[in-house]
A and B are shown apart, each in its own frame.
Chain A
Amino acid sequence: MITEPLLESSFLRKLDRLSILTKRAMAGDIQGERRSPRRGSSVEFADFRPYASGDDIRQIDWNLYARAERFYLKLFVAEEELNVHLLVDTSASMDWGEPNKLHYAKRLAGAYGYIALSNLDRVSVSAFGAGPHPQSMASVRGKRGAFPLFGFLQRLTPGKGGDLAKTCRTYAQTARTPGPLLLCSDLLDPGWKDALGALSSRRFEVTVMHILAPQEIAPELDGDFKLVDVEGGEPVEISADIGLIQRYREGLDAWREEIESFCNGRGMNYLAVDTSVPVDEFVLSQMRKRGVLR
C-alpha cells in the first residue's frame, strides 16, 4: 500500500537547516555534536583540575606545571548526542477534528524528529493511548533513522484512550536518558496536570504541543444537542446559543492560560496549536519564534 508521505520532501529540505534548541547542555550516551555537561575530548577548553592518581597523564597541562610546579589536568567540553523523546497521544479524542489532530500530531512529531536526526541526535518515539503501556519504537540515530521513524508514526492507529497521567509517569520513570521531549496531545483529560507534573519530575526539556482542532476552539453549534464523548466519557446535554458558545470559549481560553502558566512554572515550553494552521508554517515560524527550534 502506497501511502502519502508523512512530510513532503521540500519541507524536509527546509527542516535540514534547523536544529533543536535546548536551554541547557544535556548528556547523551555516545559522542555527538552537542555540548554535554560532561568533560570530554573536544577542542573547546572547559576547566583545569588538580591531578589525582589514576588520571590520564596525557591530559596534564605541562605549561601550567612549569608555572605552578603542580600537576593540573586540562579539561575539554564533551560533545555528545541528544536523546530526543517524542510522545504522541493517540487516544480516541485525538482522532477527531478537521484537519485531524492525530495526523497533525504525527506530522509535527515527524518534523521534530527529523530535525533531531539530521543533527545526529537520537530519537525515540512513544505513542500512548491504546492502553496502560505505550507503544514504542527502538531509538534511531542519524538520517537513516528517518525512514523507520516516519514508518512508525504512519502506522500508529488511534486507541481507545487511557490515563494520560499514568502513562506519562511510567514514561518518565522508564526513559533511560532524559533529553528534549515533545509532547503532542490535546490534554483533554482530567489528569493533564498530573501528566505534565510527572514529565517535569526528570530533567526532560519538555515542549507541550497543545493540539486542538478549530471545531474545538470555536464550536459551531446552535440548538439543543446531546454531546457524546468519543472516549466514552459522560455525555453532556446543552442548549447551544451564542451566549453558551461565548462562555465555552471563555472557559477554553481560561483553561489554556492555566496550562500555560503551569508549564511556565515548571520550565516547560507551551505551544497552543490550531490544526487549521499548516504544519510547515507552524514549524518554520511559530516553533522558531518560541525558541524550540533554531
Chain B
Amino acid sequence: MSLISPLALLGAAIIGPIIVAMYLLKLRREERPVSSTFLWRKMVRDVEANAPWQKLRRSLLLLLQLLLLLLLVLALARPFFQTQGISGRNLIIILDHSASMGADDEPPSRLEAAKAKAVQLIDQLPDGGQATIIAAGGTMQVPVASTSDRRELRQAISAIQLDNGGGSDLSQPLTLASALAAREEDSEIAIISDGNVRIPSDTRVPARVSYFPIGRASENVAVSAISLQPGQNSQTLFVQVTNYGVSAAARRLDIYLDGAIFNAYNLSLDPDPTHGQSIVAEIPPQVRVVEARLDGQDALAADDRAFAVSTLGDALTVRLISQGNRFLETGLALLPGVQVTKPISGTSTFTETATQIPVTIIDGSAPATLPPGNLLFIGPIRSTDYFSVTGEIEFPSLRSISGDDPLLRNVSLSEVSVLKAARIVPGSWARVVVDSDGAPILAVGERDGRRIAVLAFDLHNSDLPLQVAFPLLLSNLMSYLAPGSGAEASQLLPGQPLALQVDASITEVRVTRPDGAVSSSRDGGVQMRDGQAIYADTDPLGVYTLEELRDGEIQATHRYAVNLFDQQESTIAPQRDLTVPQTSGAQSTTTRQRDGRQEIWRWLALAALIVLVVEWLVYQRNGLAYLRQRWRQRRAG
C-alpha cells in the first residue's frame, strides 16, 4: 500500500496535539459550589474502585476524536493498493459482446465477467477521470462517451447485451478509440474480451492499450454448417459438426424434423477447426424445419443448435428473353430452385407481376417495354432507359474493381477472354463491379425500385460459359437479383436483415420470432418499402417465420433459419495477449500487476463518518440514557 499525497499526514502531526491540548484544557472543570461534598466524596470513593475503566471512559471521546482524525488524514493521504488495472485518466473501454462472450465458463457468462471487470476499471478511475464505453463485436455501440458520471457508466455497462451477429472485428472500435484517445492526454484503452477478435495491423493506437482476457475454457463443439437441398422427391440434409477445441470430443448429434426426433449420430471429433465431420441424410419432402442439436454441454451453447428450413417448392421463376442461348439455359438449369419461362419471342406485353416472376434476363436485344421486376441485361445491343450503348470495345481486359465484392465470390475472371463488348454508359444508379480500362463490363444497381445488372458482352463472344466462373457468377447474380429466395437465402447470419420481395397487394407482413414473439408491418416491426419487406432484428438464433397477409388472410409463408456459423465465434479458447500496434512501439497488451491503483479513501472516509456518529452518540450518552429510561418507564407503566 502506498500513499498518493503523503504530505497530508503532516495534518495529523499538527491537529493531533491541538486536540490533545484542547482535551487537557477541557479537564480543567467548571467549578460549582455545593452545600457539602460529603455525599459526593462518598460516591466517588465507590467509583474509584473501578478506576481504570472510568479513566478510559472519561477519555473515550478523546480516543474517538483521535481515531477520527487519523482516518480523515489517512483518507486525505489517499492510500492505494496496486492492482491489475488501468492508470490513465481518460479511459476507453472496448467491451467485446460478440457471440463467443456468451460462453458460460466464467459463470454466469463471459459477458457478465467482462461487465464486472469493466465496472472494476471504472472504479479505478481517478477523480475527474472520464471514460467511454464501446461495445464491440457485432454491431458497434457507444452507449456513453467521455463522461465522468460513474453511475451513468455503470448503467451503460449493465445494459450491454450479447450480440450474436457481426463477428468480432475490432478495427472500427479501435479506430474510434484511437480518435478519442488522441484528443485527450493520459488516455488508455482497455480491451475486455476473450481475445478471439480481428485486429487491424495497419492502425497505430496513440495510447496505451491494456487487454483484460476473459474466459478459461477452450473446449467447444459446434454445428458449423447445415443445409437442406431440395431434390426431386426428397430433400438432402447436410450437417457439419466441427470441434473447435483442443482435445478430441465425443458428442451425439440429434436431428429433429419439425420438432420430432429423426435420427441421432454418435460423433467422435478430432480437434480440427477446418475439417468438421459431415452427415448427409435423405429427408422426406414434407419436412419444413430441420433442427440439428448437439447433445450434452459445452461452454458455448449458442452454436450447439442449428436450423435449416425447406425450400422445396419455393422455386424462383426467371423469365428469359433470348434469341436462344444454350449456355445461359444450361447454366440456369444448374441452379437449384430456379424455373425458367420463356415468353413468345417478340412479345412486348408482360402480364405477370414482379412477385410472380421477379427476375427477367434479357439476352441481347431488349423489348420495347421492359418487363416488371429485376433485370439482367447480357450483351445489350441498344440503349435502354437505364443505360446507353455508345459503341464497342475490342478485346477488353476484365478487372474487378473491389477484391471482395459478393457478386464475384468464388469467381475468377483472370482466365476469361472476351472478343468484344458493348461500350455502355450506365446511369448514376450503377455500381461498376468489373471494368476494362474505365469502361464498365459488369454494373449493378437499383433504380425505380428494381435491381438491375448489366453484363456488357454477349456470352457467345467470350469463353466465360466454358469456365467454372460462369455458373458461380450466374448464381451470384441470381442471389443479388432475387434476394430472399433459394436455399442459400433461407439461411441468415445473426443480425443480417431478412428481405423479401412482396407483391403490392400484400397488406401486412408478419414475422414470428424464435421466441414466439410476433412483429408485424402494422406496428412498424417489419418495414415495407419499394415492394420489399425488411425485418432487421434477427439477432436471436432460430427459425423465423414470415407470413404475407392480404386482408387478414395468409397468402404465403416463408421460413428463415438464423444460425451462428462463425468459426471465429465458435473458437472460444481465450487469448492471453493481443497484438495491437501502439505509437509507443509496444505490441503487447498484457497488463502488469502494478498498473492499476485501487484507492481506498472512500472506505476510510466512510469509517471516519461512522466514528463521527459513534463519537456523537458517546457525547450524547446522557440523552440516550434518559431516553432509554423513559422508554422503560413507559413500558413498565
- Determine whether B40 belongs to the interface, using a CB cutoff of 8 Å to chain A: yes
A194 at the interface (CB under 8 A from B): no
Instruction: Tell me, in angstroms, the Cα distance from A189 to B35 when the chains sit together.
Output: 11
Q: Does A54 contact B (CB under 8 A)?
A: no
Nearest Cβ distance between residue A251 and chain B, in whole angstroms? 5
Is residue A16 within 8 Å, beta carbon to beta carbon, of the partner chain?
Answer: no
Let me know if A188 and B36 touch, CB within 8 A.
yes
Taking CB atoms, residues of chain A closer than 8 Å to B35 are 93-94, 96-97, 101, 186, 188, 213, 216, 230
User: What sequence of 0s and 1s flags, for each residue 227-263 of chain A, a beta carbon within 8 Å of any chain B beta carbon?
Assistant: 1111101111111011110011001100100000000
Which residues of A sit under 8 angstroms from B629, Cβ to Cβ?
242
| A238, B44: Cβ atoms closer than 8 Å | yes
User: With A239-B58, A248-B40, A248-B43 in contact, do A229 and B34 touch (Cβ < 8 Å)?
Assistant: yes
From A225, A233, A242, contact of B32 by CB (8 A): A225
The residues of A that contact B43 with a CB separation of less than 8 Å are 244, 247-248, 251
Q: Given that A189-B38, A241-B621 are known contacts, is A228 also in contact with B27, CB under 8 Å in the complex? A: no
Which of chain A's residues have a CB closer than 8 A to the CB of B33?
Answer: 96, 227-230
Q: Is A221 positioned at the interface, with any CB of B under 8 Å from its CB?
A: yes
A236 touches B30 (CB 8 A): no
In-complex Cβ contact of A247 among B31, B32, B37, B46 (8 A) = B46
Q: In the complex, A104→B34 CA distance in Å? A: 18
Taking a contact as CB atoms under 8 Å apart, the answer to whether A228 and B29 are in contact is no
The CA of A234 and the CA of B41, in the complex, are separated in Å by: 8
B36 touches A186 (CB 8 A): yes
A125 to B225, CA, bound (A): 125
How many whole Å from A88's CB to the nearest CB in chain B? 16
Minimum distance in angstroms from A247 CB to a CB of chain B: 6
Interface presence of A47 (CB below 8 A) = no
A194-234 vs B: 1/0 string, CB under 8 Å? 00000000000000000001001001011111111111011
Q: Mark B498-513, 1 if CB is under 8 A from A, else 0.
A: 0000000000000000
Say yes or no: B37 contacts A235, CB within 8 Å.
yes
The distance in angstroms between the C-alpha atoms of A96 and B43, with both chains bound, is 21
* Distance of A188 from chain B, by nearest CB (Å): 4
Q: Does A5 contact B (CB under 8 A)?
A: no
Q: Specify which chain B residues have a CB less than 8 angstroms from the CB of A278 in the assembled complex.
A: none
Give the nearest-CB partner of A245 in chain B.
Answer: B622
Q: Do A228 and B34 have beta carbons less than 8 Å apart?
A: yes
B36, B46, B621, B626: which contacts A233 (Cβ < 8 A)?
B36
7 closest Cβ pairs, A-B complex: A188-B36, A96-B35, A226-B29, A242-B625, A93-B35, A229-B37, A236-B40
CB<8 Å pairs between A and B, sample of 25: A101-B35, A189-B36, A216-B35, A221-B32, A224-B29, A224-B30, A226-B30, A226-B31, A227-B33, A227-B34, A228-B31, A228-B34, A228-B37, A229-B36, A229-B37, A230-B33, A231-B36, A237-B29, A238-B44, A242-B625, A242-B629, A243-B625, A247-B46, A251-B43, A251-B46
- Extra 5 A-B pairs, beta carbons < 8 Å, given A235-B31, A242-B622: A93-B35, A230-B35, A233-B37, A234-B41, A236-B37
